[in-house]
């Protein structure tokens, strides 16, 4: 039994709606690797349940898997704002939000997050960034002042399939975007941070 299989066997399985969404995304949607999946999804759910946030912000909905996971930990009157640039995904997103019973807790926004975030007039206890890797620094800067002291920002794919470890490092804009983001966070005295080697890497950031 390999490492990932052992972890899966000894972790709680995803619920039936998430299983169905995982399967449909892999069968019908381009780049299904973008989906959070059961282990990362459960970790996001746990973070949300520990924080019990009134407001969550997600940049990069994709098919809605991570949003469903995080919505489970919202305060009773909490709202998750989720931003997705690809409006062609709206039917599958809304269908699964309804199946999961979280449609009233999630507000979907379609468009460029850098244009939408400045108009969200609220403060967040949890932010999840999982969108264009070239713009991670811009996303971070755009949301920072909207995160409450003690709040968390979680960024996905910060190991970028191991490319950030290569020597010499690939010069493509996606790898450079992730590496520059990781360095920025590491040197940001306003936060505490830890990089977890879960899946494709999660940067956990706590605002002081």
Band (pLDDT 50/70/90 cuts) for residue 3 is confident
pLDDT at 107 over 90: yes
Domain definitions of the chain by residue range: 3-207
pLDDT value for 4: 85
What would the pLDDT profile of 6-38 be if each residue is shown by its tens digit? 999 999 999 999 999 999 999 999 998 899 999
Q: Tell me the mean pLDDT in the region 96-105.
A: 98
Neighbours of 10 (CB within 10 A): 7
In angstroms, rounded to a whole number, what is the distance separating the alpha carbons of residues 33 and 73? Answer: 24
What would the pLDDT profile of 43-60 be if each residue is shown by its tens digit? 999 999 999 999 999 999
pLDDT at 177 over 90: yes
The fourth-level CATH superfamily of domain 3-207 is Vaccinia Virus protein VP39 (3.40.50.150)
pLDDT value for 12: 93
pLDDT at 66 over 90: yes
Q: Tell me the mean pLDDT in the region 86-109.
A: 98
């Amino acid at each position: 039994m390999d490492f990932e299989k052992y972890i899966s066997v000894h972790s709680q399985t995803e619920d039936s709606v998430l299983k169905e969404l995982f399967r449909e995304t892999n069968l019908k949607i381009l780049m299904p690797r973008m989906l959070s999946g059961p282990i990362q999804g459960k970790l996001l759910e746990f973070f949300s349940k520990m924080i019990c946030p009134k407001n969550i912000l997600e940049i990069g909905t994709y098919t809605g898997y991570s949003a469903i996971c995080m919505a489970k930990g919202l305060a009773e009157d909490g709202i998750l704002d989720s931003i997705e640039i690809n409006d062609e995904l709206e039917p599958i997103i809304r269908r699964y939000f309804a199946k999961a019973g979280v449609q009233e807790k999630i507000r979907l926004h379609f468009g460029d997050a850098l244009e939408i975030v400045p108009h969200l007039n609220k403060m967040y206890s949890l932010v999840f960034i999982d969108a264009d890797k070239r713009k991670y620094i811009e996303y971070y800067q755009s949301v920072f002042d909207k995160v409450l002291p003690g709040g968390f920002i979680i960024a996905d794919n910060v190991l970028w399939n191991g490319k950030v470890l290569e020597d010499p490092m690939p010069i493509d804009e996606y790898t450079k975007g992730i590496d520059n983001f990781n360095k920025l966070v590491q040197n940001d005295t306003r936060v505490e941070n830890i990089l977890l080697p879960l899946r494709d890497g999660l940067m956990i950031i706590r605002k002081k």
